[in-house]
Structure formats: C-alpha cells, structure tokens
Structure 1
Amino acid sequence: MHSDTHLLLHDQRSAELRQRATDFDLVPADPLASLRTRLGRLLVESGLRIMPHSPDHPSIAPGTA
C-alpha cells in the first residue's frame, strides 16, 4: 500500500474513532480534574528538582541484573 493512501486511511479512521468516543461521552468532565492534574504535575516536578542528581548518591530502587 502506498504511504499516502495508508496515511489517508489512518486519518479517516482516527477521525471516525474520535467521533464515536465523543458520542459515548455521556458524563460531563469533572471540572476539578484539570486542577488535580496540574497540581499532581507540579508536585512531581518539585520532587524531581529536590532529588539529588549526582552519581555519589545511589538510587533507592534496586537495579536489574
């Protein structure tokens, strides 16, 4: 199959799936969900900035063999 044809079919199918997903979206989105997501990301970023990045501090997680 030619790459342009494949891409066109993919775009059509993805648009169809997006439309079907919105058709089944019966429950309104939680207005606090985006706030929770932003707060969670902020906490993760803050934690990553606090953690030491030097090789002198070994990681707490065990390595795999």
Structure 2
Amino acid sequence: MVDLSGVTFMDSSGINVFVAAHQAASDDQGWLRIAGPQESVLRLLEIVGLDEVSGCHPTVDQALTA
C-alpha cells in the first residue's frame, strides 16, 4: 500500500515506478493499493488506468481493508 496523500505532482517516472511495483507484487501473489491521491495525481492515475489495476482508495484505512 502506498500513501500518496502528500504527493501533489506525478509524471511518467512515478507512473513507471507504480507499473514496476504492481508487476513485482503480482509476480509474488501480492497486491499494490494506492491511498489518498490528491485530485491532480488521481486524474493522472485514471488516465493511464492504474486506478483500475492497483486500486485507488480515498484513505489508508480503506486501502488496507479493500
């Protein structure tokens, strides 16, 4: 689980980190969830589809119990 509540900007480098982390977690039968992305970051995650692949949640608690 990654808490993005303090992140205000993300570019392709951040996206690449999430893609690699998701792949590594999936390879080990794990998961990656994203918590608390601010609107600008959430929009980017939605555009590239990471919100659907990893799952974005408004809070850390929601991400942990999903």
Asked if Structure 1 and Structure 2 have the same fold, meaning a TM-score greater than 0.5 normalized by the shorter chain, the answer is: no
Choose 1 or 2 for highest CA Rg: 1
- The normalised TM-score by structure 1 is 0.30
What TM-score comes out, normalization by structure 2 length? 0.29
Q: Which structure exhibits the higher relative contact order, with contacts defined as CA atoms closer than 8 Å and separated by 6 or more residues?
A: 2
